[in-house]
């Protein structure tokens, strides 16, 4: 046995990963790490805002021009079609921004119902243009507006728990949807 113990060699431990080796002798400074993080944040913000905005623009392009809405004799307070489109794009932008603020703080993981409200609002707003302006189904449009208002109210409540600024950004969308519901109600009786 003594001869076997003399033949044994001590095992050498691997070098720690944080010590520089010829392959990884470059470590990032704090400033470079922050810059990389800011680039990732800017990229995710761009996606969060551009995706709903692109979907609304697609919706407006294909279903937004309505000869029947333009030809209606409307009260003076009815918005022209371009105002409806602009306000829907602004609402989509604000929802994308507020959703990103909640996502950046991990709010969709903490409260998954916030994501459900947010996606529900997006789908309802995408359905409103073709149903009301293209098909002229004003009753269905009114129901969509009321459901959209409920989804936005749910977003506002859920976002407030994560980020109060995100909740405040939803409030103009709530006001627009309420006005849109009133316009939709008036369209029923024209």
Distance CA 108, CA 128 (A): 25
Q: Of the candidates 57, 55, 64, which has an alpha carbon nearest to the alpha carbon of residue 135?
A: 64
Question: Of 139, 147, 99, 101, which is closest to residue 120 (Cα–Cα)?
Answer: 147
Domain contains 98: yes
| CATH number for the domain harbouring residue 121 | 1.20.1260
Cβ–Cβ contacts within 10 Å for residue 110, how many? 12
pLDDT tens sequence across 71-124: 778 888 989 889 999 999 999 999 999 999 999 998 898 889 999 999 999 999
Q: Does the residue 179 lie in any domain?
A: yes
Q: What value, to the nearest 5°, has the Cα angle with vertex 85 and ends 151 and 137?
A: 65
d(CA 90, CA 73): 26
Contacts for 126-131: CB closer than 8 Å, 24+ residues apart: 126/55, 126/56, 126/59, 128/180, 129/59, 129/60, 129/63, 129/64, 129/88, 130/59, 130/62, 130/63
123: helix, strand or coil? helix
- Total domains, the chain: 1
Round to whole Å and give the CA distance between 152 and 181: 13
For residue 11, tell me if it sits in a domain.
no
49: in domain? yes
**pLDDT band for position 178 (cuts 50, 70, 90):** very high
User: Is the residue at 22 inside a domain?
Assistant: no
Provide the 8-state DSSP code for 74.
-
What is the per-residue pLDDT for 73? 83
- The span from the CA of 57 to the CA of 55, in Å, is 5
pLDDT (tens digit per residue) in 37-60: 778 888 889 999 999 999 999 999
pLDDT of amino acid 4: 56
Residue 12 lies in a domain: no
Rounded to whole angstroms, what are the CA distances from 185 to 12, 35, 137, 147?
Answer: 80, 50, 11, 14
Return the structure tokens found at 136: 């002229």
Angle at alpha carbon of residue 172, lines to 170 and 176, rounded to 5°: 115
More confident residue, 31 or 168: 168
Q: Which domain holds residue 150?
A: 42-62+75-188
Q: Does residue 7 form part of some domain?
A: no
Q: 37 lies in a domain?
A: no
């Amino acid at each position: 046995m003594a001869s076997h113990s003399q033949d044994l060699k001590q095992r050498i431990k691997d070098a720690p990963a944080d010590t520089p080796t010829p392959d990884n002798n470059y470590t990032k400074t704090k400033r470079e790490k922050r810059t990389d993080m800011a680039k990732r944040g800017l990229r995710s913000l761009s996606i969060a805002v551009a995706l709903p905005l692109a979907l609304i623009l697609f919706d407006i392009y294909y279903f937004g021009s309505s000869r029947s809405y333009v030809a209606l004799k409307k009260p003076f307070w009815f918005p022209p079609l371009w105002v409806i489109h602009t306000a829907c794009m602004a609402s989509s932008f604000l929802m994308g921004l507020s959703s990103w603020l909640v996502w950046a703080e991990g709010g969709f993981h903490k409260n998954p119902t916030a994501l459900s409200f947010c996606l529900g609002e997006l789908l309802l707003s995408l359905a409103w243009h073709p149903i009301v302006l293209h098909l002229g189904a004003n009753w269905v449009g009114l129901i969509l507006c009321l459901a959209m208002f409920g989804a936005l109210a749910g977003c506002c409540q859920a976002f407030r728990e994560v980020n109060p600024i995100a909740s405040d950004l939803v409030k103009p969308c709530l006001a627009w949807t309420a006005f849109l519901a009133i316009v939709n109600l008036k369209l029923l009786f024209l």
